[in-house]
Structure 1
Amino acid sequence: MPSHLLPVRTPHVPAPSDGESARAAAEPPSVAPVPFAGLRLVHSAIRRDLARFPNALRLLQPGDPAAGEALQRHWDFMTAMITCHHEQQDTRLWPLLRRFVPEMRLLLNWLEADHHNLDHSFTRVTTLVRIATRDAASSWPVAYAVEELAARLETHLRIEERQLLPRMDGVFPVGSRIGTLPELLDLLRAADGPASSDALVWLLEGVDERVVDRLLADCDDETVRHWPHWRDTYARCTDQLWGPQF
């Protein structure tokens, strides 16, 4: 698992007494939530897809429209997730942080403005990707444009992770739904955007199974029940793009 994905500090646990050891053996282990997992997972999934998308473009062959259409569908899904992510931050998260951490207002203003700049960049590259997926001869220069966009986005993601997430730990109490995976799925259900089932398997692709279990434990029963079917369906679709993932 990449080092930037869901970093969780290992808590210091004192040695239990004999009585505590007996009680612990009799009780089922608790599942600790992953703080701000929704935000972290979106960042990781975006990085993952932008890293492999250029090579998939370069491998497109003339006379294979199905491959180009599949790649275009995935690009459209990914950019829709990015748009939802930016809207969630600008309309829900940033206002809360401006209120409770006023000294960060300048940074939040810059991040919001940069969201708009990034959205324009994605719109431009989306036009290029649409051309490349229909005409394989133009795929190489478009692949370079995707790589440039990925480098541009990486600066934004690192600023959020290094300057913002550490401060959020001190703002939102343990157990808050802000930035969690269930909150993200609920927002997607309420918005006119990607299906929450598609988003979930996209977010959890490649994540260690033990972390997946922790994340699903924080979701509703219906999501947990349907997870294996959603995962297998998603895998069949994406295997055609970049090979087996699960």
Structure 2
Amino acid sequence: MSRHLLPVGPMTVPAPREEIPVAPVVETIPFAGLRLVHAAVRRDLARIPQALRLLQPDDHEGALALKRHWDFVTAMVTCHHEQQDARLWPLLRRFAPELRLLLNWLESDHHNLDQCFTRTTTLVGIATRDPASSWPVSYAVEELAARVETHLRIEERQLLPRMADVFQPGSRIGTLPELLDLLRLAEGPSASDALVWLLEGVDPIQVDRLLADCDDEIARHWPHWRDTYARCTDRLWGPAGQ
């Protein structure tokens, strides 16, 4: 059985000596990986249309950066859907059979959304090559964002509460470490790129909680990954995403 399916028991720490400070146990945020993907997709689908409208005919580097970022977002959405369809939905069908109709609809809608992303990717490619067409393409992205929002709300309102009943506290299902592990195994975005994308704009205190749940290597490299990502995206959204 995959180690991701095993519940983690409560952590017990021996009583420390007075002269040795003990760091508090960091509480895991339930299903943080799923929630972070949803938040990041919403964030970028909201700001990409404006970035398209602001494209200038001679800004070839900006157009290339925007197209590259769109491709990254599309790849993350595709990986997210594949992981849910191949890993999470089968578990829920087994342990919560009453959710099967909902899961069937969500899986079908994943295929529909993936087709929408494919069509929109073609349009974004046209707009980044010819900024004169960027305005109608920006409206197409907004239409896609509305469709995605409907899907995300159904997952969050109808599925996440039931998942809390199915998976024991401490399970890694839906967590950030599990998501990063799955990305390492998939032929898609790198875990480092995904991490900084997911944590962009997240409150620093919450970032510390999330990183504490990851392995030491990720925590050690986080400042470098964060700063590199900021240099790449500042030209798209401005410093600090403004």
Which one scores higher on RCO, CA 8 angstroms, separation ≥ 6? Answer: 2
Q: Distance in 2 between matches of 1:189 and 1:229?
A: 19
| 1:37 paired to 2:32 | yes
AA aligned opposite 2:229: Y
| 1:137 paired to 2:137 | no
The superposition leaves residues 129-150 of structure 1 with CA deviations (integer Å, 9 ceiling, x where unpaired) of 0000010000000000000000
Q: Distance in 2 between matches of 1:154 and 1:58?
A: 22
**CA RMSD, aligned part only?**
1.6
The superposition leaves residues 181-238 of structure 1 with CA deviations (integer Å, 9 ceiling, x where unpaired) of 0000000001110000000000000000010000000001100000000000000000
- 1:12 corresponds in structure 2 to none
- 2:77 corresponds in structure 1 to 82
Q: Distance in 2 between matches of 1:212 and 1:148?
A: 31
Q: CA deviation at 1:29?
A: 1.8
Q: Distance in 2 between matches of 1:110 and 1:28?
A: 44
Q: Distance in 1 between matches of 2:21 and 2:113?
A: 52
| 1:58 paired to 2:53 | yes
SS at match of 1:245: helix
| 1:227 paired to 2:222 | yes
The superposition leaves residues 67-118 of structure 1 with CA deviations (integer Å, 9 ceiling, x where unpaired) of 1000000000000000000000000000000000000100000000000000
Matches within 5 A, 1:186-205: 186-205=181-200
Matches within 5 A, 1:104-123: 104-123=99-118
Off by >3 Å, runs of 4+ in structure 1: none
- 2:41 corresponds in structure 1 to 46
Q: Distance in 2 between matches of 1:201 and 1:28?
A: 25
- 2:5 corresponds in structure 1 to none
Q: Distance in 1 between matches of 2:211 and 2:181?
A: 14
Q: Distance in 2 between matches of 1:64 and 1:244?
A: 18
Aligned residue pair count: 225
AA aligned opposite 2:122: T
SS at match of 1:207: coil
The normalised TM-score by structure 2 is 0.91
AA aligned opposite 2:180: L
AA aligned opposite 2:127: A
SS at match of 1:32: coil
The superposition leaves residues 151-201 of structure 1 with CA deviations (integer Å, 9 ceiling, x where unpaired) of 011000000000000000011011101000000000000111000000000
AA aligned opposite 1:73: R
Gapped regions of structure 2 (runs ≥ 5): 1-17
SS at match of 1:206: coil
- 1:3 corresponds in structure 2 to none
Q: Distance in 1 between matches of 2:159 and 2:136?
A: 34
Q: Distance in 2 between matches of 1:197 and 1:29?
A: 26
The normalised TM-score by structure 1 is 0.89
Q: Distance in 2 between matches of 1:70 and 1:136?
A: 14
Q: Distance in 2 between matches of 1:88 and 1:162?
A: 20
Q: Distance in 2 between matches of 1:49 and 1:29?
A: 34
Q: Percent identity?
A: 78
- 1:206 corresponds in structure 2 to 201
| 1:93 paired to 2:71 | no
